Amino acid sequence: MSLVARAREGWQRFWYEPVDPIQLDAFRQAFTYTLVFYTFAWAQHAGEWLTAVGYHPTPAVDAYYAPHVPLLTRATLGPFFAVYFGAMLAIIFGWARRAATWLVIAGLLYVSLADPISAFTINRLYIFGFLILALAPGPSGQGPEARIAAWPIRVLQVSLLIHYVASGLCKALRGDWLAYDDVLWVQVQGVYCTEAAAWLLRVLPAGVWTLLQHAALGFELLAPLLLLPRRLRPLGFLLGIGLHLVVAVTMYQLIYFSLQMISLYLVFVSPTLLRRLLARLS
């Protein structure tokens, strides 16, 4: 077989080989739970978020961040969130799951267009993740014998690695993370500072923040080398989840981003281990 033929066969196998759907199922559950948590927290201030009561720039002031859809009224907030949360619960419990996934995507698109300032990166990641889940093929077979085409899992895996490497390159090439040793120490004192971060800034030596800064940058740049080889994945999981725990604790409102990213780690866990863990949990 020629080199080109082997490469083509490997490419087809990587994206389309039949695989155990447990990784995608576990990601779906975890990802949806994070959306429930995130939406519940923001829904407590839904009037400011999705109605004219809150601050929304007009198109004349800022066309990009102005609402791109009609805002809700006080009377329609309740029905909207009943459908939105109901669709999330349907995904979790497996009721008309594909239709519910499209409803969640519609809800995410609406809130992202109604309040682009608040939506930012977190909503975009949710739209991307649920779109992959909505387009993913259904399994053939049941239980441990069930199989799906690998591409939804591969897309999620590749997207996580791209996210890390792109973030690391931005910090290294376009930012100042390599030029100074106190970048993280300064950043956690800004608008993202939490009470936990303020306490840590008082008790931790400056050198610890330097260590965390370089560890985070190194992990992002080397994420493919740490998460792709199975033998190195435990170390990659330790560093990556540790990074997101630090972000969740020290940066205000970024706990939701950390939960999103950690849920993506499930598509790197071996199906055998996942089934064993889920069996214990059940």
Residue count of the chain: 282
What pLDDT, on a 0 to 100 scale, did the predictor assign at position 3? 82
What pLDDT, on a 0 to 100 scale, did the predictor assign at position 4? 82
Q: Residue 49's CB: how many other CB atoms inside 10 A?
A: 21
Q: Model confidence over 182-217: pLDDT tens digits?
A: 999 999 998 889 999 999 999 999 999 999 999 999
What b-and-e string marks burial along 130-168, b requiring 16 or more CB atoms within 10 Å of the CB? bebbbebeebeeeeeebebbbbbbbbbbebbbebbeebb
What pLDDT, on a 0 to 100 scale, did the predictor assign at position 98? 96
pTM: 0.94
Residue 103 amino acid letter:
L
What pLDDT, on a 0 to 100 scale, did the predictor assign at position 232? 96
Q: Rounded to whole angstroms, how far apart are CA atoms 226 and 114?
A: 39
The long-range contacts involving 121-124, CB below 8 angstroms and separated by at least 24 positions, are: 121/257, 122/38, 122/256, 122/257, 122/260
> Shortest CA distance to 256 belongs to which of 29, 40, 47?
40
What pLDDT, on a 0 to 100 scale, did the predictor assign at position 191? 87
What pLDDT, on a 0 to 100 scale, did the predictor assign at position 279? 83
- Give every CB contact of residue 143 below 8 A, 6+ residues apart in sequence: none
Q: Give me the sign of the Cα torsion angle 37, 41, 47, 51.
A: negative
Place of tokens 């977190």: 122
Residues of the chain with pLDDT under 70: 1
**Token pair belonging to 74:** 């006080």
What pLDDT, on a 0 to 100 scale, did the predictor assign at position 54? 87
What pLDDT, on a 0 to 100 scale, did the predictor assign at position 278? 82
| Integer-rounded Cα radius of gyration of the chain | 21
What pLDDT, on a 0 to 100 scale, did the predictor assign at position 142? 84
